[in-house]
Structure 1
Amino acid sequence: MKNILNIKSTLIALFAVITFTACESVSSYEDESPSIAFVAVANADFSVLEAAAVRGGVAGVLSNSNPNDPSGAYTVFAPTNTAFARLGLNEETLGVLQKPFLTNTLLYHVSNGNLRSSNITAGGMSASALGPQRRFIQRGSDLYINGSKILATDVNASNGTVHVIDKVMIATGADIVQSAIALQSANVFINPELSFLVEAVVYAGLAEALTASPGSPKFTVFAPTDQAFKDLGAALGLTFNQPSDIRQLPANVVGQVLLNHVFVGEKFTSELNAGNVSPLGGDPLTLGAFTEGTLTVRGVGNNTPANMVIPDVQTTNGIVHVIDRVLLPNL
């Protein structure tokens, strides 16, 4: 029953967003507080969000207040079409996501109560309807929630508040290893992803180290896609057609390469800066400039830096940034 109420809460909040545009100034909304019951699903800037709400199984009555909060209000951090496009998603391509994952992703953008910008402070936290907390981060003059920049605040609706953001937020509710396995098992995308990474972690004996346990540290992980591993195989004169092909390399070499992708401490993109970071493998990684919410990353053995394909994935024991190239140490 609780899940049904949460989904209903998500629906109402999400469709409240669609009448507003992230491109307008916040001041233009100051005198407007439309009822969600009369919200028109008509704003092109949020058409992907609308489609996601429908596909995620949260379409329904739009007139109710929040039954889970005394104020009857919701707060929604609403990604624009451009935010979805960063992940290669639009109305037509949402089908690449499994529906339960899409629904959970929507819930991660919603919280109970009316959180106004005056009550948002850097370093503060906000619980989501999904459960995991989101963190507010100040970077220069800009405020972020996790790695997503807040573009507009305090968009009024009769049953809550909407803040507009530039990136879709993702939380898995699982640790780093189980999150990778969820991708490998096609529980996130319809097609498996990170299959080579999971195979490599198991082969190198690193699964236990990256599994959450009481007192264990939190990590930031750069996670290469399957195509990144296939490209590495080609560069080495090997053929990596399937994950088990990674075992053509010695286990200690695979382990050394993997440790080059992990450093201690959890960092969203909004908390990373150009320069070097020290991974567990020892050889420094070089981060590029913070540009449009992401950074490139390069190992000492790489001629070309890796790009972040899916940044800022929150797990229970760290942050994962999915990248398009394997980061190589000095071997």
Structure 2
Amino acid sequence: MSVLALTMGEPGGIGPELALRAWQALRHRPDCAFALIASSDIVAARNRDFCLDVPLVHSDFVNAARHFAAALPIIALDEHVTDHPGQALAENAPAVIASIRQAVAAVTGAMARAVITNPIQKSSLYAAGFSYPGHTEFLGALAAEAGARDVYPVMMLACRELRVVPVTVHIALNAVSTALKADTIVRVGRIVAASLSELFSINAPRLAIAGLNPHAGEDGSMGSEDQTIIAPAIARLRELGIDARGPLPADTMFHATARRTYDAALCMYHDQALIPVKTLAFDEAVNVTLGLPFVRTSPDHGTALDIATAGTARPDSLIAAIELAASLTGKRA
């Protein structure tokens, strides 16, 4: 069985520490075997700093699985990395980007089963000329470079209690109503329904679709978008045979009884989706990118530069991301 490809993420953040702690937790799980694409010096430094005593081994993807039970396999980067815990340096951006590129190349080249990404610090990447809003868009571009067609990455946040998908993602709140289109809602809904069936083995996925405005617009008295954009999109999804309902008032969608009535919630903007899932499972939620020709998961938190020197980072979300990637690729296989 091939390994999972784990990226370094921001070297000044908690990514290298999380990888070491994740190996400690999963080293007896061959189904979760992963190789870390990173600067070996940075990983070794965090290993010493926090007295983790994790055995490290330089490897390639072909041999990583057989090393995993005894040591953390490192796929070393050629790019130089300046070691400065707690700071995100623009000079390290080429190595951060190279780690992601190598992970995608490994999975598209059938050397790895899935991509798992440690958090990146987008501000330092932007300072170095990175032109993508974030991981999701960059992964979509890499998939297209590898020959995939009709790539449309969709961000899902998942935990045991809830799956949420923001239709618009990293844009200002005052731009949402202009950016929101019925065609986009339909496209996202189709990708989510197909992914729930293909990856999560849900035979007849149920989608709950949130309204944009308070009380889903209150019949147009608090905004027209729910009636003119969201409701027509839901009707089109239903015509396609997808069990979609809404627009629903977002403030009543996420309590326990409501969550039992659907398999995923489509939300109209970033915080409408992420606040409930992070409230329910801040340390265990996983970011899953749908709409790619490969499985990609990620911990649902940032680089945590403020605790990068403390040695107290919790690996729960990364472990959950590794376990989910292993499970989803097993189902896809």
TM-score by length of structure 1 reads 0.27
Structure scoring higher RCO (CA < 8 A, sep ≥ 6) equals 2
- Which structure is higher in strand share? 1
TM-score by length of structure 2 reads 0.27
